[in-house]
Structure 1
Amino acid sequence: MSGRRNLTAILSLLTIGAALSIGMARAAEDVTEDQIIRALAPARKPLTRGLSVGPQTQTDPAAFAAEGQFVQKFRNRATRSLSAAEREEIAAVVKDKPKIDLEINFDYNSANISARSLPSVQALGRALSNPDLKGSTFVVAGHTDAAGGDTYNQDLSERRADSIKRYLVEKFGIAGTDLVTVGYGKTKLKDPANPLAEVNRRVQVANMDNKATASK
């Protein structure tokens, strides 16, 4: 009897340990507000330190103006209205911008955000509402894995980008005009060597850092 009780106790401890490990792994997957803020913080090039005004930063007026035109071109555009050429234009502009990939899961064959991914989306909402980021224009890009056809995945990625935007607007009061949504389907896999991998099913957020044209 004693041996059987010991065996039962050991099995119980193993079960509890496994459950805790799974819980910790799931928690580790959730990105935090602070991580998003750090990833999306605009890089600045210091010039000089004045005696009274503090650090100065370098800004290229021509580049700033060009980005302002870009932002105005795509703000208020419906995701599905973007042509393939315009989607590539957006990809080229955000290439060197601060960005973060969020592995956000959706319900099967749906644009509904899964309960498992809500903490990450909520962290994104808090981050974009933070004074360090609030007021900038952000590109929210939806991506899928390679399963399924091109048209299906393109539509799915657009609906999912729209779903994230809608959640941020409704739950966090972020101005819809400050969120440019675009879908890339399966055209820009994060892990091309494993086209069906979960890392390919993601939402990428990039900071255009052009507050002169963003809503306040």
Structure 2
Amino acid sequence: MLSDIDTWVLDLDNTLYPPSTGLGDQINVGIRDYLTGFFGLDEAGARRKQAELIASHGTTLRGLMTLHAVDPADYLAFERRLDYSVLRADALLATAIAALPGRKFIYTNASAYHAEQALDRLGLAGHFDGVFDILAGELEPKPHPGSYRRFLDRHDVVPGRAVMFDDLEVNLTVPEQLGMATVWVGGEAAPGTAQYQVMAPRRWRVWDLAPFLHSLTAPAVRPSTM
């Protein structure tokens, strides 16, 4: 399983850590605070505006830049106010990622600054060969095809030998079309459900990332001959 993979591509938010940390909620609050100040909206209006921009442009930032020429640095300043202490080091995940053969990348719609802060708190700093962020994608986010092509070109990735992990199934459609293996991470497994589910050839659903990654490299237990 995934024995032919030499490039591991992992999303960050709600993939390397669970939504229960609340960091994703902080991010949404920061985005809506920006919208409230920029447009003079109340909370409900900011939520609607955020949903409209995401639906029409993929991310709030891309919509604001396209429609209102917003400076991305000004918008992304809210990341400096996030409380990253809600994240905890995950030794099992760090060990599992370190054991993966080949190159490993973070691919996020957030900024490299955000990725660096989160990876440091998770005990994963130094475990990846690079971070491909929203600026590296020229502000075109997942799931837009152009973003994936920029990632593949920048890092000379052969799609057929790469696997993409993401908590949003929609973000895995284009990688699958390009020939990458895909792993949909997160959600709640039904009682008695296996550690992972094979959804199609080279496509998996995983509820707990660290044990799944560990199972890829852990030596098989041989029956005793005694």
Structure-1-length-normalised TM-score:
0.24
Structure having the higher Rg: 1
TM-score when normalising by structure 2: 0.24
